[in-house]
Amino acid sequence: LPRARAEVAPGAVHVPDWLAPARQREILDAAREWSRPPAGMRQTVLSGGRKMSIRTVCLGWYWSPYRYTRVSHDGTPVKALPAWLAELGRDAVAVAYGAPKLAAAYEPDIAVVNYYDHAARLGMHQDKEEISPAPVVSLSIGDTCVFRLGGTENRNRPWAEVLLESGDLFVFGGRSRLAFHGVPRTLPGTAPGHLDLSGRVNITLRMSGLS
C-alpha cells in the first residue's frame, strides 16, 4: 500500500516522504553540529529525578522541564535557530494544511531535536509549555518509529498508531495541538543507509509565544 498524506486526527496531518534523501542528510549533518557542546545534547532529568531515555538539544529556547529558558543545561546560551530551519517550518505548514496565509504567519522560534537510540522511548505527554496555539511541525530522520497519538483528556486509549519513517513530516495543529502523544518504540536498522545513522532523530519546530 502506498503511504499517502493522511489527517490522522483533526489538525494532525501526516505527509510521508516529504524530505528528499539529500535534504535529510543535510539536516542530520546540522543536527550533529548542534549536538556538540557547549549547549549540546543531553539527557533531560525530570523533576522526580528520572533521566529521559532520549537525548535532546534545543535551538532558540531551551526546554527545561517544564518551562523554556534562554540558558542551556551547561549554563551557556542556547544556540540560535537558523533562518533556513524556520523557512522549512513554513513550507511544512503550507504543504500539510494547504493554507498559505496560516503558513506565512508561522514563525517558529524553538527547535527541539530528539535522538533515539534503540532503547529510547518517549512516554505519552502533552506539550503545553508554549503559549502560542500555533502548530508543531515534526520531521523524522533515521530509524522508523511507532508514533502514538491519543486524545486531549488523558494518556489512555483510544489512540492512533502511525509508523514515522525517515523523511516524514507531521504537523500538529488545531484540536490536535494539545493531544497526548508518545513514541513507544523505534525499529532498529531501518534508517536509510546513506544517512550512516544508528537510531532516530526527530526535529520539532514550535512557536513559543514568549519574548
Residue 170 binds which of ligand MD3, Fe ion, none (CB < 5-8 A, kind-dependent): ligand MD3
| Nearest to ligand MD3 of 57, 136 (CB atom) | 136
Among 79, 71, 67, 77, smallest CA distance to 32 is for: 79
Among 140, 142, 139, smallest CA distance to 117 is for: 142
* Number of residues located near Fe ion, criterion CB under 5 A: 1
Smallest distance from the beta carbon of 202 to ligand MD3, in angstroms? 3
E strands in 65-199: 67-69, 110-116, 122-125, 136-142, 145-149, 160-164, 169-172, 181-186
| Nearest to ligand MD3 of 136, 207 (CB atom) | 136
Q: Which three cell numbers stand for residue 156?
A: 489512555
Which of 7, 127, 184, 188 is close enough to bind Fe ion by CB under 5 A? 127
CB-based contact 16:95 (threshold 8 Å): no
Q: Map grid coordinates 514563525 to a residue.
A: 107
| Nearest to Fe ion of 34, 180 (CB atom) | 180
Smallest distance from the beta carbon of 91 to ligand MD3, in angstroms? 17
Among all residues, whose Cβ is closest to ligand MD3? 202
Window contacting Fe ion (CB under 5 A); options: 8-16, 79-87, 122-130, 150-158: 122-130
Q: Which residues here bind ligand MD3, judged by CB under 6 A?
A: 112, 114, 122, 127, 136, 138, 170, 172, 176-177, 179, 181, 183, 202, 204
Q: Starting at the edge strand that comes first in sequence, how are the strands of the sheet with 145-149 ordered?
A: 122-125, 181-186, 145-149, 160-164
CB-based contact 140:167 (threshold 8 Å): yes
Residue 72 binds which of Fe ion, ligand MD3, none (CB < 5-8 A, kind-dependent): none
| Nearest to ligand MD3 of 117, 127 (CB atom) | 127
| Nearest to ligand MD3 of 24, 138 (CB atom) | 138
Residue 97: phi, psi to the nearest 5? -105, -15
Told to check if 129 binds Fe ion by CB under 5 A, we report: no
Smallest distance from the beta carbon of 139 to ligand MD3, in angstroms? 9
Distance CA 30, CA 118 (A): 21
Site of interaction with Fe ion (CB under 5 A): 127
